[in-house]
Amino acid sequence: WYPAGFLVQVAALFARDGMLDFWFCRYASQPALASFEGAASATPRTSEVARNASSNTMFLRGRIVAAIGEFDEALGVGTPMGGSEDLDYALRACRVGRKIAYRDEALVGHRDKSAKFRSLYYVSGLVVLARHARYGAAREFLRKIAVGVYLMLRRELALVDFATALRRALAEYRAAS
């Protein structure tokens, strides 16, 4: 959900800066109510895109949406991959956008991040990061592999699921070459 006045402020960001193609922020169950109109947003690092861009918090100019195209229908809730369509879309936006900005505040309402979902989105996240590794997401791809090892050690991710994810991700990495 969007706090009162939030969408007006986002629209104003895009109206003030004709080069801004993609803007995002974080989310939380108790989003900040402070005004951010006129406040500077930073150019995000790939790690910030990978960890914080969400379909709930991404705002894109129409021309960038036309350039990117549709969401990958092989990703998302209800697909065998189970998620990460928004991560893929955000990384694609970063590759073609003129100006990308990130506000490091939880400004959108959504359930808080929960450790119980980490393993559910692991496979799709790893595959998407592999797809974009050659375009600036290599460090996040390697980090995600390490996260998989951590999840296995905590018994949150089965060895067979980790191996399957790694195999799919490496195939995706080779295909992106």
Give 73-119 as a 3 state SS string: CCCCCCCCCCCCHHHHHHHHHHHHCCEEEEEEEEEEECCCCCHHHCC
DSSP secondary structure letter of residue 7: H
pTM for the structure as a whole: 0.89
Residue 73: predicted pLDDT: 87
**Structure tokens belonging to residue 120:** 């559910």
What averages of pLDDT result for each successive group of 10 residues across the chain (177 residues)? 90 93 94 73 91 93 95 84 90 94 92 70 92 94 96 93 94 85
Residue 38: predicted pLDDT: 64
Residue 40: predicted pLDDT: 66
Residue 51: predicted pLDDT: 93
Decide if 97 contacts 64 (C-beta within 8 A).
yes
Residue 49: predicted pLDDT: 95
